[in-house]
Copies of this chain bind each other. A is one copy, B any other.
Amino acid sequence: MQTPPATTEETPAPADVCAAPPRRHPRPEGQDRYTISEVVAFTGLTAHTLRWYERIGLMSHIDRSHTGQRRYCNRDLDWLDFVGKLRLTGMPVADMVRYAELVREGEGTYAARRALLESTRRDVLTRIAELNDTLQVLDRKISFYTGAGSA
């Protein structure tokens, strides 16, 4: 068995260096059309939120069934995974939408996308440093309380 031809990256890239790796909510193999409630199960987002993401342009228009219901594909799920990561960084939704627009604009925006991600990367490093700092404070206080409790 081999990785399916799923492109998963922002632009139909030739050799996709960037394929989506481990996923937390395993998708069924060989499927490429999911209802909104399946996506809810995979991502933990609500159906409301998924529709809202689409409305504000954080997702490109989702394919529809003959009756007008949304049918998400694996690439959509990959994108949602990535958006989830960005969300963890604290990036505002408006910035994510900006990134999504760059993706839709095509390969000409590679430099801009990289700049955006590098700036995000810096934010993440800062945040990690802050959290490590906070951890030290917490540890100091916890050991204070522990000592005071057993003294």
Contacts and interface: CB of A to CB of B under 8 A. Distances in A.
Interface of A: 9, 13, 17-18, 82, 85-86, 88-89, 107, 110-111, 113-114, 117-118, 120-121, 124-125, 127-128, 130-135, 137-149
A117 B131 contact: no
Given A117-B142, A121-B139, A89 B131 contact: yes
A130 to B, nearest CB: 5
Contacts of A88: 127, 130-131, 134
B18 A140 contact: yes
Contact of A117 (B86, B127, B132, B145): B145
A135 B140 contact: no
A135 B131 contact: no
Contacts of A131: 88-89, 124, 127-128, 131
Given A13-B148, A17-B144, A88-B134, 20 more contacts: A9-B144, A13-B144, A17-B143, A17-B147, A18-B141, A85-B137, A107-B148, A110-B145, A110-B149, A114-B145, A114-B149, A117-B138, A117-B142, A121-B135, A121-B142, A125-B135, A128-B131, A128-B132, A128-B135, A131-B131
